[in-house]
Each structure stands twice: as structure tokens, then as C-alpha cells.
Chain A
Amino acid sequence: MRQIRAEVIKDTVKDLFIEANYVIGKDIYKKLKEQHEKEESEVGKSILKQIIENDEIAAKERIAICQDTGLAVLFIELGQDVRIVGGDFNEAVNQGVREAYTDGYLRKSAVTDPLFDRKNTKDNTPAIIHIEIVPGDRIKILVTPKGFGSENMSALKMLKPADGVKGVKDFVVETAVKAGPNPCPPIIVGVGIGGTVEKAALMAKKATLRPVGQHNPDERYARLEQEILEEINKSGIGPGGLGGRTTALAVNIEHFPTHIAGLPVAVNICCHAARHAETMI
């Protein structure tokens, strides 16, 4: 059984959150540049230019891409042949978050209680940790600081099986278009179809992390991704919501078997600063 020290997990989480907040993914950067070339709206073009410049400044100077450095969300794949030693796993993750947000000059946006107190926890914890046990003796850690300008525009709907493809398509397009300028377009739209309420939401969040330009391996879903993307971009919302062709950069769908009576669909919206970083230890 391979042993991994809790401290290694803490340090890895810390580095990943700092990296994710400073450096935009190459896939997103490339797509932004392509869209900047193509964008027909003059205002839209100038906004895409600002976004590209912003991402370059942040990476070069190692400062936050966006001031909303998000709630700390982690997807962890834990090999079943790994033993964590020298500390508590969850505490190591939270300590990594604490140190990243303090030492990395990142904004701490977590509040203690959602309804009554709403006091800042001052260290951006607790992190939201999703753990999956997988074969092997490695740990894959994927972090995604999630800002709430876009998170607030997300939605979930329990469709009927009879609603079918059209029902899914309409709901996803409607959610993205209704969000308008609020989630900082151009956006990345994560969609989870199937499972249960929580499974659909989790898939939608995971879908936002798929590299821009990579499609669902099932060609029917890949086609649906493309069709929904085109529909959203027909809205004219454009960069910053000020008009143009580039409203969304990608629509990524994940799917899972579900109950005979249901068709859950979750839409998780992410802004153009779709920050994430991952590593394997």
C-alpha cells in the first residue's frame, strides 16, 4: 500500500489553487483569440481584447485573473491502494486552501452560514470536496475556484422523459440566454443529463472543466453540444452582454443512466475565466 503524507496533499492543493487563479487554461486562451478574430461586433471585439490582455497580465505578473477567486471546489480521485499518513485528509485539503488564499493574495469569499450570519470565514474554507475512489495507488487532484457571478445563473430542472431532446435543448438555451450579461459572457456551459438531482448537478459542474474544443465521445451528445452552442450564440448577447456573436465558448454535456420516470437536467454556467488546475500525486 502506497503511503502519501497529508502534508503533500496540503502543499499540492495550495499550489493548484494559486496556479488556477493566476493562469488561464491554454484551451480557453486559444479559443478567446480565435473568437477575437471572428467577432463581428466592434464592442464585442474590444471586450474580448480586454479579456485576452487581462489573462496575459495575470499570468505574467502572477496575480488573480478575476477578483472573485471563488469558492474552493475540488474533485479528487483517490486510489484505493493509497494510505494517507501523518494527518487528516480533509483538514490537509482545507489547510491547502487556507494557505493558497492567504499567501496567494486571493480574495476570501466564503461565509459561515448561508442565511443568518453570513460572516466571512476569513480563510475561504470550508472547501467543497468531491471524492471518488478509483483503482490504483495515486491521487488525482483537480481544483476549480468557482466565482458566483456565473454560479448564480445556473439552474436545474426535472424534465419528463417525454420532453426528450427538444426539452433539454430548450432548457439549456433558455438558461444561458436568460443569464444575459450577468455571468460575464463569453461563458462555458456545463450540462449534466440523467442520474438524480445531485448527480446531474455534479456532472454539470464537472462538464465545465472539460477542455474547450473537446466533445462528448458519444456523437449524439457531441452533436447536441454543437447545436446548443449555435443556438446560444444566435442570441446576439455577445461578449460582456453588449452585443456580438460570441456568447458562449463551449457547451459540454455529461450524461449518466437514470430512472425510467425521469430526465434530470442541470446547467452549470461558468464565465470565460473557467479556472481549473490538476495534478497526480
Chain B
Amino acid sequence: MGNMIRIKTPVSTDEVRKLKAGDNVLITGIIYTGRDAAHKRLIELINNGEDLPVDFNGQFIYYVGPAPAKPGYAAGSAGPTTSYRMDPYTVPLLERGLKGMIGKGLRSKEVIEGMKKYGAVYFGATGGAAALIAKSIKKVEVVAYKDLGAEAIHRFYVEDFPAIVVIDSEGNNLYESAPPKYRID
């Protein structure tokens, strides 16, 4: 297993470039949420030359649609959703300074090329570990698209959010490199 690294958001391109596929990270700071419908709206704004509701420069986006929080809890269960659905929308956000995505599952070639070009990483969070992950979320606010409910853009304040660098800014990809080590032909 790689090193255990603590990261504080926002991050610089230099910091991101130091992260390597296989590193275990604990993220502290602000992370934004966004999934299908929110991404679609962000890209419409970009295409129309309008400002985005959130400044993604140096920030991470977490692909999640959280469950509602029970009274007394900051967040409801909040595990990662499948990332490839956001692939068509990702590169324009990387162009605008997005430094990391947190999700689960494969990414497209275009997204990986974009990550290499602009300096960004893709983190994997454990699919289904939603109750566990919610423990690291200390504060939740909706910052845009409230009408989308679970799909709205939330601002999470997280402490020691657990993730693994799956694809680094050089394009090294743990989804490709790790399974062959355990493959039996």
C-alpha cells in the first residue's frame, strides 16, 4: 500500500502533482459535491460564457448524492457515485482549476488526458461505505441548485475524509495496474 498522506484543501498544482496512484489520503477542508444534473447545469453556464456558482480553483469535487441527515447528524450517508457519468462534463471544470475528483469506477481517456494537462488527481472512495464516510463530514451547506435535492451542489467541511489516489496527474491508474497483480490466467 502507498503512503498515508494528509491533504488540506484548497490545493496547489504542485501539491497535486506530488500525489501518486496508490497513496492513501485523508482530506481535510472544503469539498464540493456534484453529480449528473448539477454537472449538466455547470457546463451549460460555461458554454454560455456565464460565471459558475462556485469557484472550483484549487478545489475537489465529490460525486455524491447524500441521503438526508438524521436529526443530530451533520450529514446523511454519503458514499461515492459512479464517476464515468460525469466524464463528458469534467474537462471544462479541470480547465477552470478543479484539482481533484472523488468518486468510484473508471474514467474516460479524455478525462485522464485533461488531468495530466491541467494537473489533477482522481480519488477513489469506497463504494457503499456511506455511513462510515459520513462520519468525516462535519458541516454541510447547499451552495447551488437547491431544487435538485440530493443532486444539488453542497459544500462539505470534512476532516480526515478517507480516499485512495486511483489516477494521478501522470495518468498512472490503479484500476489498471492493481488487478493484473492478482489475476490468475
Contact = CB atoms under 8 A, between A and B. Distances in A.
Contacts of A42: 1
B43 to A, nearest CB: 16
Contacts of B73: 63
Q: Is the interface of A mostly helix, strand, loop or mixed?
A: loop
Contacts of A46: 1, 24
A67 B75 CA distance: 11
A236 B179 contact: yes
A107 B1 contact: no
Select the residue from A108, A180, A240 with max chain B CB neighbours within 10 A: A240
B132 A243 contact: no
B115 to A, nearest CB: 17
A54 B104 contact: no
A149 B63 CA distance: 12
A182 B104 contact: yes
Given A63-B73, A64-B77, A54 B182 contact: no
A241 B128 contact: no
Category for how many chain B residues contact A: 35 or more
Contacts, number: 167
Nearest to B126: A50
Nearest to B151: A120
B178 interface: yes
A244 interface: yes
A53 B182 contact: no
Contact of B135 (A44, A57, A237, A243): A57
B1 A106 contact: no
A196 B158 CA distance: 49
Interface in A256-279: 271-273
B4 to A, nearest CB: 11
A195 interface: no
Interface string B39-69: 0000000000000000000000000111111
Interface of A: 40-44, 46-47, 50-51, 53-55, 57-58, 61-69, 105-109, 118, 120, 122, 149, 152, 180-184, 234-238, 240-245, 271-273
29 contacts: A43-B174, A44-B182, A46-B1, A50-B129, A57-B135, A63-B67, A63-B70, A64-B77, A65-B77, A67-B65, A67-B78, A67-B79, A68-B65, A68-B130, A105-B67, A106-B67, A106-B68, A107-B77, A108-B149, A118-B37, A181-B106, A181-B175, A182-B104, A237-B179, A241-B105, A242-B166, A243-B182, A271-B127, A271-B128
